Copies of this chain bind each other. A is one copy, B any other.
């Protein structure tokens, strides 16, 4: 087993001091050219690579960024992650991922763990547990220590930090407008409880679009799931109870299940009923018919978040100015709506 070689080894072997080796490898002007050559040749021969940990300790910079997301097996989050990873890597940063599993406690634990020197900054989407509890002290503590934080997608108003979100409200608004333009009259919304920030925004857009078009908001046409978990029974009950000609869903899963159910009841999509779902993921693309979707541009979101974060890390001017970047959603039309 070849152990990793250090500056000290090189110094001892070549009969020079550690400082000389360090400087020689950095091509410092201070060192004579023959010594430099000797050291560099030796280092190359033994494949010397500086120890990241030692460097981190020295500069108090780890070149790691911490990403905390509620779930990794989730198309949107992985898409964002890809954007983060892409940008970060290009800038020489590595990414440490922790999964909060939608739990407040795990989010706190992971964050505290990473905050003790392991990372230079955080990018995260709040867990539903955290949004439900509405407790952001762990975030406050981190930012108070001067660790930059960028929130994406699932954010909270009262946290002072940079944010990257999409205009969820507008996405919903546009979707409902499209339904109305297509002549739909009874437009349902399938969503989760309001404590999820994005669901709240989407619900607001849905409502506003209805009202702006002179359609009354009818609470009976809104199906609210208590969590992000699917519950077939609620879907069946809803469609047995209500007769609608368009459905806006805050996620793909709810939409796909609903489509299947109404299809099993003999309804034709999009003739009898149209569907639009948030998050343009694999399911939307491969459903039959394809699900018209509101794309959230996850990769771009990730890149922007990483860009903002790394900028903060590398130029940490003390001024506390925070930006919120709002991305515009895009409607991807597929077979589940008429065109």
CA separation between A190 and B256, bound complex, in Å? 27
A interface size (C-beta, 8 A): 53
**Closest CB-CB distance, A300 to chain B, in whole Å?**
14
**Interface assignment of A89: CB less than 8 Å from any CB of chain B:** yes
Q: A89-B98, A116-B52 are in contact. Are A73 and B75 (CB under 8 A)?
A: yes
CA separation between A143 and B54, bound complex, in Å? 22
Q: Mark A46-58, 1 if CB is under 8 A from B, else 0.
A: 0101111110110
B97 and A54 contact, CB distance less than 8 A: no
Instruction: List CB contacts (< 8 Å) of A108-130 with chain B.
Output: 110, 112-118
Q: Mark A265-297, 1 if CB is under 8 A from B, else 0.
A: 000000000000000001100111000000000
**Interface assignment of A315: CB less than 8 Å from any CB of chain B:** no
Q: A54-B117, A98-B89 are in contact. Are A72 and B62 (CB under 8 A)?
A: no
Q: A1-B144, A73-B75, A78-B72 are in contact. Are A97 and B85 (CB under 8 A)?
A: yes
Q: A54-B57, A73-B78 are in contact. Are A99 and B85 (CB under 8 A)?
A: yes
Q: Oligomeric state, in number of copies?
A: 2
B99 and A145 contact, CB distance less than 8 A: no
A94 and B78 contact, CB distance less than 8 A: no
User: A114 to chain B: which residues have CB within 8 Å?
Assistant: 94
**Interface assignment of A79: CB less than 8 Å from any CB of chain B:** yes
Q: Give which listed residue, B4, B85, B94, B145, contacts A4 with CB less than 8 A.
A: B145
Q: A2-B144, A94-B118 are in contact. Are A82 and B78 (CB under 8 A)?
A: no
User: A115 to chain B: which residues have CB within 8 Å?
Assistant: 49
**Interface assignment of A96: CB less than 8 Å from any CB of chain B:** yes
**Interface assignment of A146: CB less than 8 Å from any CB of chain B:** yes
A99 and B117 contact, CB distance less than 8 A: no
Q: A50-B116, A57-B54 are in contact. Are A82 and B94 (CB under 8 A)?
A: no
